[in-house]
Amino acid sequence: MVEKIIKLENIPLTDFLGVENKNIKALMVSFPKTKIISRGNEIRIQGSGTDILQVNDVINLMLRHYESYGKVGEIDVERYVKEEQNMVIENVQKDILVYGNKGIQVKAKTPKQKELVLTAQDNDLVFALGPAGTGKTYVSVALAVRALKNKQVKKIIITRPAVEAGENLGFLPGDLKEKIDPYLRPIYDALDDMVPPEKLRYYQENRIIEIAPLAYMRGRTLHDAYILLDEAQNTTPSQIKMFLTRMGPNSKVIITGDRSQIDLPRHQKSGLEESIEILKEVNGIGFVELGSSDVIRHRIVKDIINAYGRYDESKRKRETDIPKKGKGKKNEG
């Protein structure tokens, strides 16, 4: 079960909640699988991630109504519930995650991408695993942008480990930000599709959207946020443990990674692989494994991924067979 807390600030509760909380009761009738508790200036919503998102959207519509008219009635609640349910039906039919720049519709395009969306709705922590081109980062960014637009979170935090993949950071020109930004370029590209340039600049200047190397997360508590750790296969065990323990109240976390593209030194174990093994039985954590069938880049990319998969499997078998053969020869001597 997931919980979300909404605080009502500077709002006369009777005008918003109704006499004897009638507006809250009307919401509970419309969403019978959720538990909605009004206590003081807080509204607590408990239930599945999907239902909580819908209730949250209705309450946001109620807040806008109150700002315009100074009072919310049961009829208004019923109207906004109907609007929300119609919107959900329409978006589910179209698989729309968010409307991006110039009216583009950002969608979950494959069955596994749709599974990622549903898993993220029902879990506060999700591991999205799969090869390059499967859309795991793009869909995750879209989910974060949607949550921010719907006021389900107050900020988005996106981070990556700054691991050198064949080039030394020290030889790149510029200051630290200029050296790190190329590693974060895929994140910027996704955001450019989904947020208007002026608004994205405003969000970043005011730290509503924060993009930073993983090392910058140490010592922080990240609350009321949608948090994305990208390229997690390049974290060490201590780094990913540090990141996981940053998670604060009312936060969602998606961790993406491609276990076939680990750029760590050979002797260093991937924190992603270790964390999956440790956390696989923990309730409230979801795992989605995307594959070559989810690749939405050039058609040949699927064939490349499959070819590398066959090669890696053959290599593992050869490496496993070598000790056995050596042992046999030793016995013969």
Residue 29 pLDDT > 50:
yes
Residue 195: phi and psi, rounded to 5, are -130, 130
Q: Is the pLDDT assigned to residue 330 strictly greater than 90?
A: no
Q: Tell me which residue of 233, 229, 235, 236 sits closest to 253, measured CA to CA.
A: 229
pLDDT of res. 275: 94
Average pLDDT, the chain: 83
Taking phi over 0 as left and psi of -120 to 50 as alpha, with beta for the rest, 47 belongs to left
Strand, coil or helix: 102: helix
Tell me which of 320 and 208 has the higher pLDDT: 208
d(CA 153, CA 151): 5
Average the pLDDT over each of 69-78, 249-258, 288-297 and give the range with the smallest value: 288-297
Instruction: Return the beta strands (E) in the chain as ranges.
Output: 2-7, 35-39, 42-47, 96-99, 105-107, 125-129, 155-160, 209-213, 225-229, 252-257, 285-289
Count the neighbouring beta carbons within 10 Å of the beta carbon of residue 65: 18
CA distance 71 to 18: 9
Confidence bin at 302 (pLDDT 50/70/90): low
Tens digits of per-residue pLDDT, 136-186? 999 999 999 999 988 889 999 999 887 544 444 455 555 555 666 777 788
Which pLDDT tens digit goes with each residue over 96-142? 788 888 778 888 888 899 899 989 988 999 999 998 888 899 999 99
Task: Give just the sign of the alpha carbon dihedral 177, 188, 211, 214.
Answer: negative
CA distances from 264 to 125, 166, 234, 259 (A): 24, 10, 6, 11
**Cα dihedral 117→231→206→63 (10° resolution):** 10
**Distance (Å, rounded) from C-alpha 42 to C-alpha 204?**
29
Tens of pLDDT along 279-290?
A: 988 888 999 999
The alpha carbon of residue 278 and the mean position of all alpha carbons in its chain are separated, in whole angstroms, by 20
pLDDT class of 252 with cuts at 50, 70, 90: very high
Q: Please report which confidence band the pLDDT of residue 94 belongs to, taking 50, 70 and 90 as the band edges.
A: low
Task: Render pLDDT for 16-27 as a digit per residue (tens, 0 to 9).
Answer: 999 889 999 999
User: 152 and 56 in contact (C-beta within 8 Å)?
Assistant: yes
pLDDT at 311 over 90: no
* DSSP run (H or E) holding 110: none
Q: What are phi and psi of 126, to 5 degrees?
A: -135, 135
322 has pLDDT over 80: no
